Protein backbone atom coordinates (compact mmCIF):
# COMPACT_ATOMS: atom_id res chain seq x y z
CA UNK A 1 0.00 0.00 0.00
CA UNK A 2 1.53 3.23 -1.04
CA UNK A 3 0.77 6.33 0.83
CA UNK A 4 -1.17 8.98 -1.03
CA UNK A 5 0.98 11.81 -2.16
CA UNK A 6 -0.35 15.25 -1.65
CA UNK A 7 -1.34 17.03 -4.80
CA UNK A 8 0.71 20.11 -5.71
CA UNK A 9 -1.97 21.62 -7.89
CA UNK A 10 -4.68 23.79 -6.35
CA UNK A 11 -8.04 22.24 -5.91
CA UNK A 12 -10.35 22.89 -8.81
CA UNK A 13 -13.66 24.46 -8.14
CA UNK A 14 -16.74 23.42 -9.91
CA UNK A 15 -17.99 25.62 -12.72
CA UNK A 16 -20.99 26.73 -10.67
CA UNK A 17 -18.76 27.86 -7.84
CA UNK A 18 -16.70 29.96 -10.27
CA UNK A 19 -19.79 31.76 -11.51
CA UNK A 20 -21.02 32.83 -8.08
CA UNK A 21 -18.34 35.52 -7.50
CA UNK A 22 -18.83 36.84 -11.03
CA UNK A 23 -22.58 37.05 -10.52
CA UNK A 24 -22.12 38.78 -7.15
CA UNK A 25 -19.74 41.28 -8.71
CA UNK A 26 -22.18 41.96 -11.53
CA UNK A 27 -25.03 42.47 -9.06
CA UNK A 28 -22.94 44.86 -6.96
CA UNK A 29 -21.90 46.89 -9.98
CA UNK A 30 -25.48 47.06 -11.23
CA UNK A 31 -26.65 48.30 -7.83
CA UNK A 32 -24.03 51.08 -7.90
CA UNK A 33 -24.94 52.26 -11.38
CA UNK A 34 -26.84 55.51 -11.52
CA UNK A 35 -30.18 55.51 -13.26
CA UNK A 36 -30.22 57.18 -16.66
CA UNK A 37 -30.71 60.93 -16.55
CA UNK A 38 -34.04 62.32 -17.57
CA UNK A 39 -34.04 63.86 -21.02
CA UNK A 40 -33.54 67.63 -21.07
CA UNK A 41 -36.65 69.76 -21.39
CA UNK A 42 -37.44 71.03 -24.85
CA UNK A 43 -36.00 74.44 -25.72
CA UNK A 44 -38.31 77.41 -25.25
CA UNK A 45 -40.25 78.54 -28.26
CA UNK A 46 -38.48 81.34 -30.15
CA UNK A 47 -39.78 84.83 -29.55
CA UNK A 48 -40.79 86.60 -32.73
CA UNK A 49 -40.53 90.27 -33.56
CA UNK A 50 -44.32 90.63 -33.34
CA UNK A 51 -44.15 89.26 -29.79
CA UNK A 52 -41.37 91.68 -28.88
CA UNK A 53 -43.24 94.64 -30.29
CA UNK A 54 -46.07 93.93 -27.85
CA UNK A 55 -43.69 94.71 -24.99
CA UNK A 56 -43.49 98.44 -24.21
CA UNK A 57 -39.78 98.40 -23.36
CA UNK A 58 -38.72 96.58 -26.50
CA UNK A 59 -41.03 98.70 -28.66
CA UNK A 60 -39.44 101.86 -27.20
CA UNK A 61 -35.96 100.44 -27.89
CA UNK A 62 -36.80 99.81 -31.55
CA UNK A 63 -38.21 103.33 -31.77
CA UNK A 64 -35.09 104.77 -30.13
CA UNK A 65 -32.79 102.92 -32.54
CA UNK A 66 -34.84 104.13 -35.52
CA UNK A 67 -34.75 107.73 -34.29
CA UNK A 68 -31.00 107.49 -33.63
CA UNK A 69 -30.39 106.12 -37.13
CA UNK A 70 -32.44 109.03 -38.54
CA UNK A 71 -30.35 111.60 -36.66
CA UNK A 72 -33.18 112.63 -34.32
CA UNK A 73 -30.99 112.44 -31.23
CA UNK A 74 -33.11 114.20 -28.57
CA UNK A 75 -36.14 112.06 -29.47
CA UNK A 76 -33.93 108.97 -29.65
CA UNK A 77 -32.52 109.63 -26.19
CA UNK A 78 -36.04 110.04 -24.78
CA UNK A 79 -37.20 106.77 -26.37
CA UNK A 80 -34.11 104.89 -25.18
CA UNK A 81 -34.61 106.15 -21.62
CA UNK A 82 -38.28 105.08 -21.82
CA UNK A 83 -37.14 101.63 -22.92
CA UNK A 84 -34.80 101.35 -19.94
CA UNK A 85 -37.44 102.68 -17.52
CA UNK A 86 -39.99 100.19 -18.88
CA UNK A 87 -37.63 97.31 -18.09
CA UNK A 88 -35.88 95.81 -21.08
CA UNK A 89 -35.74 92.04 -20.52
CA UNK A 90 -32.40 91.38 -22.23
CA UNK A 91 -29.11 92.51 -20.70
CA UNK A 92 -27.78 92.95 -24.22
CA UNK A 93 -30.71 95.23 -25.10
CA UNK A 94 -30.11 97.25 -21.93
CA UNK A 95 -26.43 97.64 -22.83
CA UNK A 96 -27.35 98.68 -26.38
CA UNK A 97 -29.73 101.36 -25.12
CA UNK A 98 -27.08 102.69 -22.73
CA UNK A 99 -24.49 102.66 -25.53
CA UNK A 100 -26.62 104.81 -27.81
CA UNK A 101 -27.35 107.18 -24.93
CA UNK A 102 -23.58 107.40 -24.37
CA UNK A 103 -23.04 108.25 -28.03
CA UNK A 104 -25.74 110.94 -27.91
CA UNK A 105 -24.49 112.50 -24.69
CA UNK A 106 -20.85 112.45 -25.77
CA UNK A 107 -21.65 114.22 -29.03
CA UNK A 108 -23.67 116.85 -27.18
CA UNK A 109 -20.77 117.71 -24.83
CA UNK A 110 -22.24 115.93 -21.78
CA UNK A 111 -19.18 113.89 -20.94
CA UNK A 112 -20.24 112.96 -17.40
CA UNK A 113 -23.54 111.59 -18.75
CA UNK A 114 -21.63 109.76 -21.47
CA UNK A 115 -19.36 108.11 -18.93
CA UNK A 116 -22.34 107.17 -16.75
CA UNK A 117 -24.10 105.61 -19.74
CA UNK A 118 -21.04 103.52 -20.62
CA UNK A 119 -20.77 102.39 -16.99
CA UNK A 120 -24.45 101.44 -17.03
CA UNK A 121 -23.92 99.45 -20.24
CA UNK A 122 -21.11 97.49 -18.59
CA UNK A 123 -23.20 96.97 -15.44
CA UNK A 124 -26.09 95.64 -17.50
CA UNK A 125 -23.88 93.32 -19.56
CA UNK A 126 -20.33 92.71 -18.25
CA UNK A 127 -19.37 91.29 -21.67
CA UNK A 128 -20.38 94.50 -23.42
CA UNK A 129 -17.79 96.07 -25.67
CA UNK A 130 -17.63 98.52 -28.53
CA UNK A 131 -16.73 97.56 -32.03
CA UNK A 132 -13.32 98.64 -33.28
CA UNK A 133 -14.67 101.60 -35.27
CA UNK A 134 -16.89 102.68 -32.36
CA UNK A 135 -14.03 102.49 -29.86
CA UNK A 136 -11.90 104.67 -32.12
CA UNK A 137 -14.48 107.44 -32.48
CA UNK A 138 -12.98 110.84 -31.57
CA UNK A 139 -15.94 111.94 -29.43
CA UNK A 140 -16.73 108.89 -27.29
CA UNK A 141 -13.66 106.70 -27.89
CA UNK A 142 -11.57 108.38 -25.17
CA UNK A 143 -14.45 108.17 -22.67
CA UNK A 144 -14.96 104.50 -23.49
CA UNK A 145 -11.23 103.81 -23.11
CA UNK A 146 -11.25 105.41 -19.67
CA UNK A 147 -14.38 103.53 -18.53
CA UNK A 148 -13.55 100.12 -19.99
CA UNK A 149 -10.08 99.89 -18.45
CA UNK A 150 -11.30 100.35 -14.88
- DSSP conformational letter for 90: -
For helices 111-124 and 141-148, the axis angle rounded to 10 degrees is 50
pLDDT digits over 14-72, tens only? 555 567 666 666 666 666 666 778 888 888 877 777 777 788 999 999 999 999 999 99
Quote the pLDDT of residue 14. 57
Has this prediction a pTM greater than 0.85? no
**C-alpha distance from residue 113 to each of 55, 119, 134, 140, 141 (Å):** 27, 10, 18, 11, 14
pLDDT digits over 91-146, tens only? 999 999 999 999 999 999 999 999 999 999 999 999 999 999 999 999 999 999 99
All residues at 6 or more sequence positions from 104 whose CB lies less than 8 Å from its CB, including other chains:
68, 73, 76, 77, 80
Quote the pLDDT of residue 123. 96
All residues at 6 or more sequence positions from 18 whose CB lies less than 8 Å from its CB, including other chains:
none
Amino acid sequence: MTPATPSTSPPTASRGAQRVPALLLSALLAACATPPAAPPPPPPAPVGLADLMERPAERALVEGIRLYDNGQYPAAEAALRRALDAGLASARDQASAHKLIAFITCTSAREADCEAAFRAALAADPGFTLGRAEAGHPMWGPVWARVSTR
